[in-house]
Structure 1
């Protein structure tokens, strides 16, 4: 279906949801409700390939029988030649979309020169990307850095978000012991958090489904209530033996909850009182997904962190993560304190420099803001159109959004039904559908995605899937 037809059909979908007849005779049922991309219709060759691969791959993912073979922009094409609108961006990774021509050119040029060199030696791109991140953060008003002069920051490169969080927790432990002695090892995390699946990051991801099979986890981790700004509660939670606090300013996997300014300010104040490292995990919400470089960029200085972790979009899908550390913490991390084989290699960092340069450009920001405002207008009406399903106003901001449902079975059903109509969405937490499209998404593509969501909800309503 062409984008022009999508934009023309959207109002009809809305009218159907309100119970009005469409004067043209074309209803949401004929436009979007038909299953055009059934999960169970993969070609026989694809089914055989999946069966063979399943004999060799560990079965840690519950995948539908879909094999993607190529992508361009916000679209993916499967082995049957069917095109999908990827409104998940590979889980907030492909900020520039799939198979970006400029990025491909950078990758080819750098691969011709040098892909990898060990961290025993310097390379030309790691330090340059670190500078771009520090000075970009300074200009964006992040990490509490002064706009000119004042405290600085340093960067450690990893290969993923989990590794970035693992390193940040190690840095907090090292800092705690240096400033407070052997007992200053406590770590605080919060409800609905997701920080990764390695042992340290998993210990700060308080979900029994993820944690129970791997217990016992690392000791001295306490869990606080997300967005509880009560000073007495925070004072009890973060005490003199706390070395680090890790939190997502906007939660991704946990349901797209957004931390209030009051809560983050009180938390940061308490961290400074007890000399604990405040870590903001911006792996999913950072690097312009909320509209600014960091989700915390517009917070008052007193609410800003000591450490920021990042990964997903930094090289648009090529593995890279990073830990951005204020100098007061960086000063205790010396030679041998941490390491990595692949982190900071020239190919990953060359791609990171290109991506960061593109998404930091003012014209890119203007496009992002325009598309995000349009998406906000579209999804803001969903609670009114479908009060039988949606329990409150939509969550998040920018291009990380959550639609909260009354029944915990409904988000997964919406994701499945939308996929079978050619749009890829995600769930979040126990109750939400998550929208995290490429940062290059257009208004017309937002129209298409929300039209499909409205059609799916209309079908669910007709079928009594409450």
Structure 2
């Protein structure tokens, strides 16, 4: 299909999908693919989930958009549900993860001015982080490839190595402009980087000691994917701010910035807003997603699927010299290679598996739906393991 009218912003694989069902996508030629990427952690309930489909169709037949100038009952329902499942107090709705992180950054700066009386507030962010592609979130992102050509970047960010508590502590103690620490509980784009078990707890302690905000970017790790509704719940802590998107709408664009405690009342009328954020259609879809995750115990399902898949890969690929690491938390899964293998995403598509390769081309990233069956999980393990073995042996991959 010609794409000459599109800006050349994506390196797309040569496939177009016509419909999906559960963990499967079907292309325009009738071929089927096991979707182990979920639209990059978006379709956590799989494709064409009946609860989401019904919610969208029912709401679209009634009302799609009014404005945040008026009360939106669906938005209030969704906010209540999210505060209940998260332990947070209030929610701002927007349309994407980048917008949710933008809201968090603005909230932190306003907190610095109003509460800490700091003229030039700065936020500690991490090496190799990914927070979005708006100018502020791009500046917070720790990826020079994504930033190149868009300078000057937004100031007010100080970078620390990921999973290095002492580096954060040192910056916080020596830079009087620090107002917040912003971090992904599990780094996604850089290759499913999982920190030490007590990393978030120690960051929470530092923020408590210095009256800083702890901002957790759970755009990718939230909504059941880590084996808890939010990844920070593995640590029994509460952030001051948490952002999420992706899996919240199962494909319907929606993002959320949640706050509690000293952060909950920082944004007030006139300080921030969104034309489409929290519209009735997006909120109806998200309500169906949240209710399904809770009612069907899909957080627990993500945890059990993780154990099955990781055990399978470790068995199939044990002692393989070309494998650096096999890791995961919930359904954030990674196989790290010793050498770059970016073409494995193309080769996997040939074998009917959708995944991607990130982390400098060395990390096979898999983000399968929380609704994946055991047999589909086994198919993923067996097919990807065989593919990696063939690739490492430099043999041709056949259909």
- Tell me how far 1:300 sits from its aligned partner: 3.7
Aligned length: 393
Secondary structure, aligned partner of 1:136: helix
1:254-403 aligned at under 5 Å gives the runs 254-301=190-237, 304-361=238-295, 363-387=297-321, 389-392=322-325, 394-403=326-335
**Correspondence for 1:457:** 388
Q: Are residue 443 (structure 1) and residue 389 (structure 2) matched?
A: no
Q: Does 1:76 align with 2:31?
A: no
Question: How far off its partner does 1:291 sit?
Answer: 0.9
| SS of equivalent to 1:222 | strand
Distance, in Å, in 1 between the alignment partners of 2:266 and 2:244 is: 21
For residue 310 of structure 1, report the CA deviation from its aligned partner: 0.3
8 Å CA contact 1:250–1:396 kept in 2: the answer is no
Q: C-alpha distance in 1, partners of 2:394/2:85?
A: 50
Partner Cα separation in structure 2 for residue 452 and residue 181 of structure 1: 57
Alpha-carbon distance in 2 for matches of 1:223, 1:364: 35
Correspondence for 1:86 = 35
Instruction: Return the offset for 1:362.
Output: 5.2
> What does 1:72-221 correspond to in 2, within 5 Å?
72-138=21-87, 153-221=89-157
Separation in structure 1 between the aligned mates of residue 143 and residue 319 of structure 2, nearest angstrom? 32
3-state SS, counterpart of residue 188 of structure 1:
strand
What secondary structure is seen at the aligned counterpart in 1 of 2:123? strand
User: Over residues 281-316 of structure 1, what are the superposed CA-to-partner deviations in whole Å (9 max), with x where a residue is unaligned?
Assistant: 011011110111111102143xx3111100001111
SS of 1:324's partner is: strand
Verify the 8 A CA contact 1:192 1:255 in the aligned structure 2. no
Question: Relative to 1, partners in 2 of residues 1:363 and 1:185: Cα closer, same or farther, differing over 3 Å?
Answer: closer
Equivalent-residue separation in structure 2 for 1:112 and 1:250 (angstroms): 39
Distance 1:427 1:461 in 2: 15
Deviation at 1:366, TM superposition (A): 4.3
Q: Runs of 5+ in structure 2 lacking a partner? A: none
- 1:167 is paired with a residue of what secondary structure? helix
The question of whether the paired residues in 2 share the 8 Å contact of 1:383 and 1:391 is answered with no
Give CA-to-partner distance per residue, 1:81-116, whole Å, 9 cap, x none: 111111000100001111112211111111111111
Deviation at 1:332, TM superposition (A): 2.1
Shift of 1:377: 1.4
Mapped contact 1:375–1:443 kept (Cα < 8 A): no
- CA-to-partner distance for each residue in 1:1-20, whole Å, 9 max, x for gaps? xxxxxxxxxxxxxxxxxxxx
Q: Which has more radius of gyration?
A: 1
Q: Using the TM superposition, name which of 377-386 and 124-133 deviates more.
A: 377-386
Report the Cα distance in structure 2 between the residues aligned to 1:241 and 1:328, rounded to whole angstroms. 18
1:310-329 CA distances to partner (integer Å, 9 max, x unpaired)? 00011110000000101311
Name the TM-score, length of structure 2 as normaliser.
Answer: 0.95
Cα displacement string for residues 358-377 of structure 1 (whole angstroms, at most 9, x for unaligned residues): 00125434433332221121
Query: Matched residues in 1 for 2:197 and 2:387: separation?
Result: 35
Give RMSD over aligned pairs. 1.6
Distance 1:363 1:168, change over 3 A: closer
The CA deviation at 1:381 is: 2.5
SS of the residue corresponding to residue 246 of structure 2 reads coil
Q: Which aligned runs of 4 or more in structure 1 are off by greater than 4 angstroms? A: none
**TM-score normalised according to structure 1 size:** 0.81
